[in-house]
Structure formats: structure tokens, C-alpha cells
Amino acid sequence: MSLSELSALPLGTTASILGIRAESVLEQRLQALGFRAGREISIVRKAWLGGPLHIRIGTTEVIMRRRDARAIQVQPA
Amino acid sequence: MTNTVNCNKCNPDSSPLLDVMSTDGLKQIAVLGMPNTGKSTFFNRLTGANASIGNWPGITVDLLAAKIKLGQQQTQVVDLPGIYDLRGFSEDEEVVRRFLESNPVHLVIIILNSTQLDRQISLALQVKHLGLPALLLLNMADEAPKFGVHIDVDQISQRLQMPAFQISAKYGQGFAQAKSLIAERLGLQSEPVLAGVVNRNLVSDEQFTAEMSDLIAHGFEVSTQFKNTLTTKLDRVLLHPVFGLPIFFGAMYLMFQVVYTIGKPLQDGLNQGVEWFKGAAVEPLLSFLPKFPHDLLIDGLYGGVGTVAAFIPVIWIFFICMAIVEDSGYLSRSAYLMDAFMERLGLDGRSFVMSLMGFGCNVPAIMGLRVMRSPALRLLSMLVIPFSLCSARLNVFIFMTTALFSASAAPAVLFSLYLFSFAAAILTAFIFKGKYPNQEPLVLELPPYRFPTIRQMLLRAWLETQHFLRFAWKFIILGVVAIWLCNNLPQNVEPASAGTISGMIGNFLQPVLAPVGISPKLSVALIFGFIAKEIVLGGLAVIYAVKEDTGLAGVIAKDIDWVQAYSFMLFTLLYVPCLSTVAVIKAESKSSKFALLAVVWSLGLAWAASFVFYQGARALGY
């Protein structure tokens, strides 16, 4: 797993979004929630047993499954 | 019989549903917004409690609407589902697109969350590109300063070419001004406007992104690094990897207790009221009638009314609690906590909450599924929830385990039924998750923790109760009357005896039910149980012609052995919970076919489980 995947980002660190590569439903939803290239993003916590990620982007917090999070390419700050 | 007064408004098949939906001389307003922006709160504040559900050209789902007077103008306000994107692929996004393409409006009120305007402004920009007359309300003005958010309303308004205004729909700040602004805009718009084909009229992504950046650069500013300390602190505890789940189960237990310990006495009180009215008014009024029509009206029709009424308190309190759990933001957090497990079942944490609540009563739990916006997720949950062992079934099981098992064995028997309940739910999810695959990715917002106002809770409860009555009462009353007739026709034999229609059905079904140990008498009890599980015991009392509280336990114990009794309980646990559950499944899925599937599947599962148990136990020599 390369470091450029969001799901591999360590807790509490901030990264910036490089791009989103997802099928259109997910891509549109992510865009509407503010996931755009250049924005800062961080993982607040990860649920146990492969559960979802708690992500903060700007003033928005969302939960997302790990496999969906793979669509987000990031550049650790 | 006040229930019959509004019947022209209640039939979901006739369109339009409400006579107020006729558009002559009415100005049309559509309320549009993203999820979690307080859009419904605004709608409720604007329209009061007089909103009703209706249907519209071009779309298949019902929308909430109300007729109000704004300034001098009679206006119809429609609450559109919360959406992220007018080009989106979800069912709700399709609904909104269809609505705007097929229904001309005089004004679109766009509600956005002030603190998240940097991303939500996209929706307003899309509306601008569609050329619809619009007005922008920046809601949650009370929260914006806490997040260090500053908005230049004039800049936003200028660049979007629509009036914009900051309000707090929850607490009412700015609401009066917003209302007069709306009336004013409405007065300027004499002709309604249609959106045209939405996807064709929106601009390219590049241009859109550029315009949005421009808007944010000029109108939106976050002065401090965002830190909502209270929410962050609460999340640290409530989403804790170790304590999160126990706290969640504790909270659910508390909610369960509140709903059913308050709901039960209210339900009993209402029941007494219904009985009292029967004795005081209905009986004397109908006493001139011969026995058969007299009993039909009282035990059938009036009994049906009582069955409907019995659900009102529970639904009411349930949705007071739901308003708290949902509006506080905790329901989305439950999805985070339970997802690792629920994803394997094709569901999410919110279905889990509803299934748990189903252990009190399946009816409100199924109605509560509407918070999930994916149709597949809702349908799959609707198949699962009826297996939750509700309090009505518990009564039957407590009675029968006490009658047929030793005091030391009874708790274990009861516990085993709970295990079967879970197993049936999980099995159902596994089998049907392929048929109802959830297409929407789980990307859920975690809004900051908020507490709903009393007004929000009461309105929610009122609207949901109204919804239940409108869609379920006819089905339930008809069902109760039909089953009463089966138990009492022909007139020349004892009610519920072998000679009645029920008895004949029971005999007719013997080839199927004998292999699971269910005698003709018990079959008739199952027919009673179709109405509601509460009346299975009363039904058995009629069938065995003894008093329920004195002789019934002994008579049953003599008639059947424990293997038969357990098989009967298994069957009772798994087959169709009750008419009312079927009625809400039909209303919520908007499909009689789906309701039928739920009935047939549960009957099939009930039979298979009882068969395996009964034949297995007999083969082992019991």
C-alpha cells in the first residue's frame, strides 16, 4: 500500500488531496462533501475490526468505509 | 367513527392525494437543501404543524407539503428531500430533478449550512444556472461564529444573483425577516418557472469549479483553525474503540426503556378509553341490532379501530426519542460503531438501531427506516426487522412457557427464542442482501452534537403519527374485520370452532401444519395472530372455550406437549408479526408485492424452522 492512499495515513496527521479516482456515484458524493484536490484532510480515528474511518475535511466530518477511502489519493504534509 | 371522515385524502392510490394540491391561483414554493442543514426545521417553522403528505407529477415518492398564506398570497410549500447535488445519482437526487423538471415553481428556497458554505454553495450555484427564481437562506447562523466562520452575505447574494439571508431556523433568529423577504420575492414572480432538463442546463465542471472558487474567495472566511471542542471531546468518549459500543448499547437500552415503559401505560390507558367508550356509547347505540351485525360492528370494526389506536402512543414516543437520537447526530455515529459487523450483512448501523427498537414494536421501527436514504438498504431492513421478538410476542411466550415448562426451564426456553429471533434476522439479511444490494457508498456526515428543541420533537412525533394513521388504518381495520368474519361465520356454529371458516382453514392446512405439530385448534390461534400477537391468548381462550386467566394454561397443557408448544412458539415468533407491520411495510415500500414477499418469506421460514425442530425432537424420542 503506497503512502499516497488516504486509508494508509496515520491518525492525526494532515495531508492534502491529490486527486480522487472513484466511480461516479462515490466521486460526486465526495465532491459534494468538499473532497477536492488541494484540500487538507486528516483521519480522526479508525474503527476496530476493519470498520470505517472518521475523516475531517475543513469544517466537515464524515465516516467512510476503508475501501471507499482508497479512492482518495493524498500527499502527506 | 371519526376515522372515516378523511378517507378521500388517505388513499395512496388516488392522485392527487390532497385536494389542497390543486394549483389554481396558488403560488408554488419548493424548499431545497443539503442533508443536515436544518431544512426540515425551517420547513416546519414556516408551515407549522399543518403539513401533509402528497404526491406530484413526475415522481413516485410522497413529499411533505403545506398550504400557507404568505403576505396576501395563498402558497403551497413543498419540502424536497435533502440532496447534495442536482446531477447526483441517488434516489433523492433523481426525485428532486424530476420534481423541478415537471413542476413549475414561483420560488426555490435554498437552505444551506452557514458553517459549511464553502462546499454547500455548489447547490445554490446549480440552481442559479437552471434559471429558477431563488432565495438563499444561510441557516445555523447561531453556530457559524463558534466555528470561526464569517460570511459576506452581500457578496454571495450579488454573485449568485439571488437574495441571501442568514437565519437560525432552530431558534428563530432572522426568521420573521426571512419570511417577509420570501413573501416579497413571491409577489414579484407572477409566472411559475420550470427547470427544463436539469442535466442539460448545468455548465461544465471547469466553469463550475471556477465560479465556485470565486464565490468562496469573496464571500466565505474561516478566521480560526476549526476546532469544535465539545463535539471533539464527546466523540473521543462516544466513539472510543473500547467504551463506544457499551455506551451505545446502554443508550439504546435507555431509549428502549423510555419508549416502552412510558408507552405501555399510555397504551393501556388508551385501551381502557376505547373500552370505556365502547361500553358507554357504542354498545348502547347499537343495542337494537341483532347479535351478528352487533358483534361484527363491535368486535370487528370497533375492535379494528382499537387495534389502530393502540399503536399511537408507542409511535408518538418512539419518534420523540428518534428526534433526539437522530437530530443530536448520534444515529450517524451508530453507523460508525456498528459498521464492521453490519456491512457483512449488507446493512449499516442505522438498521441495527431500528432492529433493536423492533424488539419493542416492529411498527415504529419500520417507519424509522426512512432516515436511511438508500432504497435497497430500507427494503432489506424491512425484511429483517419483523423477526425482532416484539413485546406482543413476548407476552404469548411468557404465558406458554409458564404453562408448559418447569420454572427452571422456562427462562432458558425464552432465551432460546431470542436466539432464534437473531438467527432469523441474520439469515434473512444474508439471503436477501444479494437481491437488495446497497448501491450508495456509506459516506455519512457526522454533524456536531446538537440537541433538538421540544418543538422539533413534538412536530416530528405528530407528523409520524399522522403518517401512520393515513396509510395504515384502512388496511388494519379491514384485516381485523375479515379475520373476525372468518372466526364467526357461518353463524350457526360456535365462534372459532371447527365449523367456522377459520376452523375449516385450520383443517385444510393440516397436511402442512401437522408435520410441524400444530393442531387444528392451534392453527386457528395462528389465524388470530395475524391481527396482532396480543390477541393470540384471547384467541386460544375462545378456541378452547375457557377463561384466559383461570383455565387456559391447564387446558393447553393437557392438550399439547412441550414439543408441540415449542414448535408453536417458533412459528409464532417467525411468521408475519401482525397486520399493522404488514400495513407499514406496504406503506413504506409503496409496494404490495414487496409486502407479500415479506409475508411469504416469514411464513416459509416459520414453517421450515418449526418443521426441523418438531421432526428433530420427535426423531430423538421426545
Give the tens place of pLDDT for each residue, B519-578.
888 888 888 888 888 778 877 877 887 776 667 888 888 888 899 999 999 999 999 888
- Whether B462 has a pLDDT exceeding 70, the answer reads yes
Query: What pLDDT shows up at residue B507?
Result: 86
Looking at the DSSP assignment, which residues form a beta bridge with residue B113?
A: B139
Given CB atoms, is B223 within the 8 Å cutoff of chain A?
no
Q: Which residue, chain included where needed, has cell 439471503?
A: B431
pLDDT bucket at B20, cuts 50 / 70 / 90: very low
The per-residue pLDDT for B15 is 37
Report how far residue B622's alpha carbon sits from residue B620's, in angstroms, rounded to the nearest whole number.
Answer: 6
Report whether pLDDT(B335) > 60: yes
- Smallest CA-to-CA distance from A71 within A11, A13, A29 is with A29
Q: Is B442 in contact with A25 (Cβ distance < 8 A)? A: no
Nearest to A64 among B209, B442, B447 (CB): B442
* Cβ distance of B337 and A25 shorter than 8 Å: no
pLDDT band at B13 (very low <50, low <70, confident <90, very high): very low
When pLDDT is averaged across residues B492-515 and rounded to a whole number, the result is: 86
Residue identified by cell 412458539 is: B569
Quote the cell numbers at residue B594: 414487496
Task: Return the pLDDT at B380.
Answer: 94
The neighbouring-strand residues paired with B166 are: B138
Query: Which pLDDT value is given to residue B24?
Result: 61
DSSP collapsed to 3 states, B519-547? CHHHHHHHHHHHHCCCHHHHHHHHHCCCC
Cβ <8 Å between B339 and A63: yes
Q: Give the chain B residue whose CA is nearest to the CA of A54.
A: B336
Interface test with B, best of A46, A54, A63, A67 (most B CBs within 10 A): A63
User: From start to end of B397-452, where are the E strands?
Assistant: 443-445
CB of B515 within 8 A of CB of B615?
A: yes
pLDDT given at position A50: 85
DSSP string of B264-295, one letter each residue: HHHHHHHHHHHHHHIIIIIHHHHTTS-HHHHH
- B223-267 tens-digit pLDDT: 766 566 788 889 999 999 889 999 988 988 888 888 878 888 888
pLDDT tens per residue, range B73-108:
899 999 998 898 888 888 888 889 999 999 999 999
- Phi and psi of A24, rounded to 5°? -60, -35
Task: Please tell me the predicted confidence (pLDDT) of residue B224.
Answer: 63
Which among B422, B444, B434 has a CA at the least distance from the CA of B350? B444
Q: Which residues fall within 8 angstroms of residue B492, CB to CB, at 6 or more apart? A: B499
Percent of chain B with pLDDT over 90: 25
Lowest mean pLDDT among A13-17, B284-288, B523-527, B540-544: B540-544
> For position A1, what pLDDT does the model report?
41
Selection from B619, B579, B129 nearest residue B363 by Cα:
B579
Residue B33, pLDDT > 90, answer: yes
User: In chain A, which residues have their Cβ closer than 8 Å to the Cβ of B91?
Assistant: none
Q: Which of A24, A32, A63 faces B336 most closely, judged by CB atoms?
A: A63
- Collapsed DSSP state (helix, strand, coil) of residue B138: strand
Domain limits, chain B: 2-225, 478-619
pLDDT recorded at residue B276: 92
Please give the grid coordinates belonging to residue B179: 419570511
Helix, strand, coil percent values for chain B (each to nearest 5): 65, 10, 25
CB of A38 within 8 Å of a chain B CB? The answer is no
pLDDT digits (tens, 9 = 90+) for B469-478: 887 788 788 8
Give B607's pLDDT tier (boundaries 50, 70, 90): very high
Is the CATH number 2.30.30.90 carried by domain A6-76? yes
Task: Please tell me the least confidently modeled range out of A13-17, B83-87, B199-203.
Answer: B199-203
| Contact status, residue B87 vs residue B11, Cβ threshold 8 Å | no
Q: Check whether B118 has a pLDDT greater than 60.
A: yes
Look up residue B410 and give its three cell numbers: 422456562
Residue B286 has pLDDT above 60, yes or no: yes
In this structure, of B123-132, B415-424, B480-489, the range with the lowest mean pLDDT score is B480-489
Per-residue pLDDT band for B119 (boundaries 50, 70, 90) equals: confident
Q: How far apart are CA B577 and CA B311, in angstroms?
A: 14
Please name the residues in contact with B574: beta carbons below 8 A apart, sequence gap of 6 or more: B387, B420, B424, B602, B605, B606, B609, B610
**Contact list, B340 vs chain A (CB under 8 Å):** 47-52
> What are the chain A neighbours of B213 within 8 Å (beta carbons)?
none
Task: Report whether pLDDT(B458) > 60.
Answer: yes
For A38-52, B311-325, B387-401, B541-555, which range has the lowest pLDDT when averaged over its residues? Answer: B541-555
Domain boundaries, chain A: 6-76
Contact check, Cβ <8 Å, A65/B446: no
Of B436 and A58, more confident: B436
Residue B218 scores a pLDDT above 90: no
Average pLDDT on B360-378 reads: 87
Q: Which of A55-69, B157-171, B194-208, B483-497 has the lowest mean pLDDT?
A: B194-208
Chain B residues within 8 A of A69 when measuring between CB atoms: none
The three grid cell numbers given for residue B138, joined into one nine-digit string: 444561510
In B98-117, the residues whose Cβ lies within 8 Å of chain A are: 115-116
Mean pLDDT to the nearest integer, B384-406: 87
What is the third-level CATH fold of B2-225? Rossmann fold (3.40.50)
More reliable by pLDDT, B440 or B344? B344
* Gap from A29 CA to chain B (nearest CA, Å): 7
Mean pLDDT score, B182-201: 84
pLDDT above 70 covers what percent of chain B?
A: 95
Cβ distance B446 to A54 less than 8 Å, yes or no, reads: yes
Cβ atoms B179, B73 nearer than 8 A: no
Residue B140, Cβ neighbours under 10 Å: how many? 29
Residues B264-280, mean pLDDT to the nearest whole number: 87
